[in-house]
Amino acid sequence: MPNYWLVKTEPGEFSFEDLIRDKKTVWDGVRNHQAKKNMMQMALGDLVLVYHSVTQKALAGLAKVSKTAYPDPNDNPQNNWQVVEIVPVKALTQPVSLADIKATPSLADIALIKQSRLSVMPLSAEAFNTLLAMGQTQIK
DNA sequence: GCCAACGTTGGC
DNA sequence: GCCAACGTTGGC
């Protein structure tokens, strides 16, 4: 039973398309303790929805955890910031916009809405499945 | 240890 | 470009 997550990125910095092209990425640069705590709870194979903030404000794709949290090699080890690695699963057939998410009553409580600045957050299975359905995307 | 000032994120 | 939310810093 995998856990479900949502991560945010500014597509100008790194987008889901970049992830498809690169085949995998190190999810680094997280400098928030709650986000770090969430990252450390990610397990191998957990599914991760990738959200494009600022310019698109829409969910772009689905990825999964390919390596669990380890210390950021580019950071002072004393800070103990963590990174994970993810690989792409597939782009959403239909991007799911923030406006659509906000218009869906059952999604009103997800952290994306309630805590807009958090960049790594857990999703319930219900919220995850709802979002995937809104993206007209199925996991094979 | 409190809290005002300041910086950053991210929606609008 | 503005501003709300919120984290961090620094004076006291």
pLDDT, tens digit (0-9, with 9 covering 90-100), for A76-99? 888 889 999 999 999 999 999 999
Tell me which residues from 92 to 121 on chain A have a beta carbon below 7 angstroms from nucleic acid strand C.
115-117
Give me the half-sphere count of Cα atoms (radius 13 Å) on the Cβ side of residue A27: 32
Q: What's the order of all strands across the beta sheet hosting A47-52? A: A25-27, A82-97, A58-71, A47-52, A4-9, A120-123
Whether the predicted pLDDT of A62 surpasses 80:
yes
Tell me the mean pLDDT in the region A29-49. Answer: 95
Residue A103 belongs to what H/E stretch? none
Whether the predicted pLDDT of A57 surpasses 80:
yes
Report the predicted TM-score, pTM, of the whole model to 2 decimal places.
0.93
Residue type, A72: D
With a pLDDT cut of 70, the percent of chain A lying above it is 99
Q: Which nucleotide across the nucleic acid strands is nearest to A117, CA versus C1'?
A: B9
